[in-house]
Copies of this chain bind each other. A is one copy, B any other.
């Protein structure tokens, strides 16, 4: 059986940079890997960024699961309970984004506390494009409108 790779994010406005990251995440699991994505809850995003996402959580999750590269997309816990997530998904690898230092720290803590054999892989930052982040896309929309 292939390896299970776990990754997570808000995926507010799905863009090509997300897909490239997800493809990289799936690839590190090797042949027949399974990619499980935890989609951040609206409440979690509101707490972290001070405002809710544009697209509600159920739709963000459904769009993720509609991607060829994604085997399963699940909504997270509002308090980002890493221990519960790991226990549920049982990943071989956790893939974290360049800007997910807090997720990486929480994963490391859980792995160390429970002495788990899970590798952490840091994903690259993709693209020179101006449109490789949801915030940049939002900024462009606002600028176009002005």
Contacts and interface: CB of A to CB of B under 8 A. Distances in A.
A66 B19 contact: yes
B131 A56 contact: yes
Interface in A8-32: 13-16, 19
Contacts of A103: none
Interface string A126-138: 0001010000011
A13 B63 contact: no
A141 B52 CA distance: 11
What size tier do the contact residues of chain A reach? 20 to 34
**Among A63, A66, A131, residue most surrounded by chain B Cβ atoms (within 10 Å):** A66
A15 B129 contact: no
A68 B131 CA distance: 23
Contacts of A145: 138, 142
A59 B141 contact: no
A63 B144 contact: no
Interface string A66-96: 1111000000000000000000000000000
Contacts of A129: 59
Contact of A66 (B59, B68, B131, B137): B68
Given A13-B137, A56-B131, 14 more contacts: A14-B14, A16-B55, A19-B63, A54-B140, A54-B144, A55-B137, A59-B129, A59-B131, A66-B67, A66-B69, A67-B67, A68-B68, A141-B141, A141-B142
